[in-house]
């Protein structure tokens, strides 16, 4: 659900961080529907929708709004902007007349976020996946970039949505970046990376993951 706070603009959920409930702008099921279409347009199939995406992932905002309005007549310009601006994970950004997804692309893009500065990054996987990754390196079958976490705990937690007993792989970002692997900081939780060679990877021992921190 998207609501509008008179002071802070669009937000998701029941209450703005200031404590006001504001007014409902879009109910839950339509928020989901609109969210899936915007994600598809900006991450997965812009061309199928007739949209032009540049190499940095930017799409013309008015063109996006028109395309969405053609599919869902109820989805006007204000609702598309409300959805983008209220995204709880800051998936999208607007710059001038353009909009893009900050991460999560399956289409080919060459993003230009700030370079990663952290020496170590982490990736959670199932036991089988982890064995394979340590042998052949880390890349995503479906996504343009590998998504890495900043702590072993975060990586473990993310992987619990996919597997019962995750293993966590540590990435030596210093060595990887020195050998030409591009890594970029997307937000306070995520670093995206080009494929990482196996020589930069090692396993984190389970006892070293402080699961009670999560
Ligand atoms: Zn507020």
pLDDT in tens, the chain (214 residues): 999 999 999 999 999 999 999 999 999 999 999 999 999 999 999 999 999 999 999 999 999 999 999 999 999 999 999 999 999 999 999 999 999 999 999 999 999 999 999 999 999 999 999 999 999 999 999 999 999 999 999 999 999 999 988 999 999 999 999 999 999 999 999 999 999 999 999 999 888 888 776 6
Indicate if 120-213 has the same CATH topology as 2-101.
Answer: no
Q: Which among 95, 93, 94 has a CA at the least distance from the CA of 103? A: 93
Q: 9 alpha carbon to ligand 1 midpoint, in Å?
A: 7
pLDDT at 45: 97
pLDDT at 209: 87
Q: Check: CATH 3.30.200.20 for 120-213?
A: no
Q: 17 alpha carbon to ligand 1 midpoint, in Å?
A: 6
pLDDT at 214: 67
Q: 4 alpha carbon to ligand 1 midpoint, in Å?
A: 8
Residue linked to tokens 């930017």:
58
Query: pTM of the full predicted structure?
Result: 0.90
Q: 78 alpha carbon to ligand 1 midpoint, in Å?
A: 18
Q: 87 alpha carbon to ligand 1 midpoint, in Å?
A: 15
Q: 169 alpha carbon to ligand 1 midpoint, in Å?
A: 40
Q: What is the DSSP string of 92-119?
A: EEEETTEEEESS---S-----PPBP--S
CATH code assigned to 2-101: 1.10.10.970
Residue ranges of the domains in the chain? 2-101, 120-213
């Amino acid at each position: 659900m998207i609501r509008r706070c008179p002071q802070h603009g669009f937000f998701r959920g029941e209450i703005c961080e200031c404590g006001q409930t504001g007014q409902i702008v879009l109910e839950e099921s339509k928020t989901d529907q609109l969210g899936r279409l915007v994600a598809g347009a900006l991450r997965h199939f812009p061309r199928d929708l007739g949209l032009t995406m540049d190499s940095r992932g930017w799409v013309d905002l008015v063109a996006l709004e028109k395309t969405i309005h053609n599919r869902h007549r109820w989805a006007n310009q204000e609702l598309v902007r409300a959805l983008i601006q209220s995204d709880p994970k800051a998936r999208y950004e607007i710059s001038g007349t353009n909009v893009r997804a900050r991460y999560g692309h399956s289409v080919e893009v060459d993003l230009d976020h700030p370079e990663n500065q952290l020496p170590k990054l982490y990736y959670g996987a199932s036991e089988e996946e982890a064995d394979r990754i340590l042998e052949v390196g880390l890349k995503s079958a479906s996504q343009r970039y590998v998504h890495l976490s900043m702590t072993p705990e975060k990586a473990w937690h993310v992987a619990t949505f996919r597997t019962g007993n995750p293993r966590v792989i540590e990435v030596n970002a210093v060595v990887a970046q020195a050998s030409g692997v591009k890594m970029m900081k997307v937000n306070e939780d995520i670093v995206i990376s080009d494929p990482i060679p196996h020589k930069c990877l090692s396993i984190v021992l389970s006892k070293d993951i402080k699961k009670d921190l999560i």
